[in-house]
């Protein structure tokens, strides 16, 4: 039977994140069995690392590797008779050039009744939502900045709506979800990730 992946074979992580690779090994009869797996991780620069793989239980193994730079990582777990491949896509976290802060949101909104804590909460949530669908590099471009500011404005506007609204999102202007806003989608379009599968 051989090796089988227990963790996702394709993973998205931030720089500094922990990449956990899990496999199980089954003998020809289909039962979990002991093996001697090895892991080789190929880093974006082409160098390799050999993280330690540990037995969790009989036939189940786990390795953890801290990713240190942005790019594509490939891992191969091997035994004497089988191999399984994994990939991780590591993105740089953006906290520098161009990234909006609460003061930028307040300026964008003009007069607002929202507290700084509420604005920060919306900013954090929408920045994470944007990173989930867009490629965000170390330098934050002006179009993504404007899209994020608009996302936060939509987020805050939607907080004031009652939860039970009979109309659909398209029937009221403030009900458009932040990620579905036409202007947000236009600004983020050049940075959107291509989702396959």
The residue-averaged pLDDT of 30-35 equals 94
The residue-averaged pLDDT of 126-133 equals 90
Percent of the chain topping pLDDT 90? 47
CB 105 within 8 A of CB 123: yes
What whole-number distance in Å separates Cα of residue 133 and Cα of residue 144? 12
The domain made up of 2-91 is a member of CATH 2.70.150.10: no
Burial class (CB in 10 A: 0-12, 13-18, 19+), 33: middle
Using a cut of 0.95, tell me whether the model's pTM lies above it: no
pLDDT at 172: 46
Q: Which residues lie below 8 Å from residue 34, measured CB to CB, with a gap of 6+?
A: 25, 55, 58, 59
pLDDT at 93: 60
Tens digits of per-residue pLDDT, 41-77? Answer: 999 999 999 999 999 999 999 999 999 988 899 999 9
pLDDT at 170: 46
What whole-number distance in Å separates Cα of residue 37 and Cα of residue 3? 9
Mean pLDDT of the chain, nearest integer = 85
Residue 157 confidence (pLDDT) above 70: yes
Which has the minimum average pLDDT: 65-79, 109-123, 161-175? 161-175
The residue-averaged pLDDT of 124-147 equals 86
The residue-averaged pLDDT of 150-161 equals 87
Give ∠ CA 29-33-34 in degrees, rounded to 5.
150
pLDDT at 169: 47
Count of Cβ atoms closer than 10 Å to residue 119 Cβ: 21
Domain ranges of the chain: 2-91, 102-191
Band of the pLDDT at 97, cuts 50, 70, 90?
low
User: Mapped to the 3 state alphabet, what secondary structure does the chain carry?
Assistant: CEEEECCCCEEEEECCCEEEEEEEEECCCCCECCCCCEEEEECCCCCEECCCEEEEECCEEEEEEECCCCEEEEEEEECCCCEEEEEEEEECCCCCCCCCCHHHHHHHHCCCCCCHHHHHHHHHHHHHHHHHHECCCCCCCHHHHHHHHHHHHHHHHHHCCCCCCCCCHHHCHHHCCHHHCHHHHHHHHHHECCCCC
Higher pLDDT: 76 or 157? It is 76
Tokens of 56: 């969790």
83: nearest Cα among 182, 2, 1, 181: 2
pLDDT at 12: 81
What whole-number distance in Å separates Cα of residue 73 and Cα of residue 148? 29
């Amino acid at each position: 039977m051989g090796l089988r992946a227990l963790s996702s074979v394709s993973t998205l992580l931030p720089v500094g994140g922990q990449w956990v690779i899990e496999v199980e090994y089954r003998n020809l009869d289909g039962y979990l069995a002991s093996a001697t797996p090895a892991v080789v991780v190929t880093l974006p620069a082409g160098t390799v690392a050999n993280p330690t793989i540990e037995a969790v239980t009989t036939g189940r193994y786990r390795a953890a590797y801290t990713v240190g730079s942005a790019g594509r990582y490939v891992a191969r777990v091997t035994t004497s008779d089988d191999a399984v491949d994994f990939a991780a896509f590591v993105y740089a976290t953006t906290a520098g050039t161009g990234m909006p802060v609460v003061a930028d949101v307040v300026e964008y909104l003009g007069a607002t009744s929202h507290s700084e804590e509420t604005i920060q909460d919306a900013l954090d949530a929408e920045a994470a939502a944007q990173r989930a669908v867009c490629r965000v590099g170390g330098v934050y471009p002006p179009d993504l900045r404007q899209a994020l500011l608009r996302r936060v404005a939509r987020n805050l506007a939607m907080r004031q709506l009652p939860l039970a609204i009979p109309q659909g999102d398209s029937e009221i202007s403030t009900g458009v979800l932040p990620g579905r806003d036409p202007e947000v989608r236009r600004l983020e379009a050049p940075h959107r990730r291509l989702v396959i599968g």
